[in-house]
Chain A
């Protein structure tokens, strides 16, 4: 198979699910990676190895199983810190996913720091998970939620941010580093620079970026960063919140319970050290360990190679798609400005009908509003179809996809 960037054949062999057939005899062409990626055997085995050989609760017991489990769990924290070049390991908090990470910040930091008439700035291309928690907070505090608009090329209009910042009331700017619909890579450095000049905090939703791009938190120097394991070969139910240590120290806990305490008395409790102050209850031990294996896997390939492979594939797909009559493609045309997420509409075929038709050919894509209804309003559509790539996708699969789109056109007599 093609692509000079990574050895696709070896990679595909690591993913048992890619060998299965769908609709009886159709090879699976999985192009729904922005929703969740498939898992390599190394991740699946890491999880089952924990349950088979050293299942136990962490941080408390002194027996051997607990020590092994604690070590494996904490090793993932080190791997995460290294993967995103976080300054300190104790700034890495394990949560359930990006959604929980953002809710944690909106709740624990937001309630302490957002007051009446303050402004929270987000963008028109956010996932609902980076809109709704802020709406709840704004409503509770009488604060205002403002949006950085999206231009016709699918990029943010940063002049909007300047206007909001000028009011002097912006407390936090929160945005996705890569749009889950348009694939647009946000100019994060520019936003952080502007926000800092006005004393506003910055949260980055890295759910779509960390799986596909090299992310360097020390270079970025934002305040909060959130992402999910399952969109980068890891299991569901694990997410990461990174935040600057001084912020985590000042913040009140999110959940109260076991493991997050130092001492509990009848009416008073003192908090555990970071990051445990934010990890109440028995965490998702098995899946955190599984995530460690996912990070090892990506590290071995190298994120630069992942990016190169996806750019190559995206360019190939965009070239072919843009030749189709009646197609509308959303997002930047320039592949250096976008990730491997392609949203489109084909004639008057509704995305759900399109996804139903091409599913018959074994192709899994996403159709709908992609939890981004604010962006759908901006694009003036009710839904789009979305194909998204990862390390195991090939140009041959893109060809199958294009062929299937043509079949859909025929069925709809376009």
Chain B
């Protein structure tokens, strides 16, 4: 896809004015990751209450695609059922961004946020809910993200 299609107004807006940017003190889920190829960094914080995402924030450094993707993901999951978040797929993220046919190098930027989210869910399921079966499923699903 061409740059003009990638760097649309909405992507640039989320890049320059990220929604839900910041940290949650003492969050239920805190997960950080980076892309070793480019050094982009992303940290997500979530609070889960009554099986819903009660709060979500992110901080990070990186390209417009990775940062817009993270910001739009936080909007997508805020207030949603925990089950919905568990089932999010790669296609959901790309749909949400309106970015398809990204090259192999740049698709990693778009999916970094989902990778961070899934890793966070995994730790939460194992450490706090002791639900290793669901955790393993998430791990398996997210293994193809990179």
The residues of A with any CB-CB pair to B shorter than 8 Å are: 348-353, 356-357, 360, 367-369, 373, 376, 382-383, 408, 411-413
Binary per-residue interface labels of chain B (1-26) against chain A in the complex, 1 for a CB within 8 Å, 0 otherwise: 01110110000100110000000000
Number of A-B contacts (CB under 8 A): 48
The residues of A that contact B39 with a CB separation of less than 8 Å are: 368-369, 373, 376, 382-383
Beyond A356-B6, A408-B3, A411-B7: 9 further Cβ-contacts under 8 Å? A348-B15, A352-B40, A353-B7, A368-B37, A373-B39, A382-B61, A383-B38, A383-B40, A411-B4
The residues of B that contact A369 with a CB separation of less than 8 Å are: 38-39
Q: Is the CB of B3 within 8 A of A360?
A: yes
Q: Is the CB of A350 within 8 A of B12?
A: no
Chain B, interface size category, equals 20 to 34
Q: Is the CB of A356 within 8 A of B3?
A: yes
B48 at the interface (CB under 8 A from A): no
B15-73 with Cβ < 8 A to chain A: 15-16, 37-41, 61-65
**7 A-B pairs with the lowest CB-CB distances in the bound complex, closest first:** A350-B63, A352-B63, A369-B39, A382-B61, A357-B3, A368-B38, A353-B63
Complex CA distance for A368 and B108, rounded to whole angstroms: 14
Q: Is the CB of B62 within 8 A of A382?
A: yes
The residues of B that contact A360 with a CB separation of less than 8 Å are: 2-3
Q: Is the CB of A350 within 8 A of B6?
A: no
B121 at the interface (CB under 8 A from A): no
B40 touches which of A348, A356, A382 (Cβ 8 Å): A382
Q: Is the CB of A352 within 8 A of B106?
A: yes
Who on chain B is nearest to A408 by CB?
Answer: B3
Pick 21 A–B contacts, CB within 8 A, sort by A: A348-B15, A348-B16, A350-B62, A352-B40, A352-B63, A352-B106, A352-B109, A353-B63, A353-B64, A356-B6, A357-B7, A360-B2, A367-B38, A373-B39, A376-B39, A382-B41, A382-B61, A382-B62, A408-B3, A412-B7, A413-B12
Who on chain A is nearest to B67 by CB?
Answer: A350
Are A352 and B38 CB-contacts (below 8 A) given A382-B61, A412-B12? yes
Looking at the assembled complex, report how far the CB atom of B108 sits from the nearest CB atom of chain A, in whole angstroms.
10
The residues of B that contact A376 with a CB separation of less than 8 Å are: 39
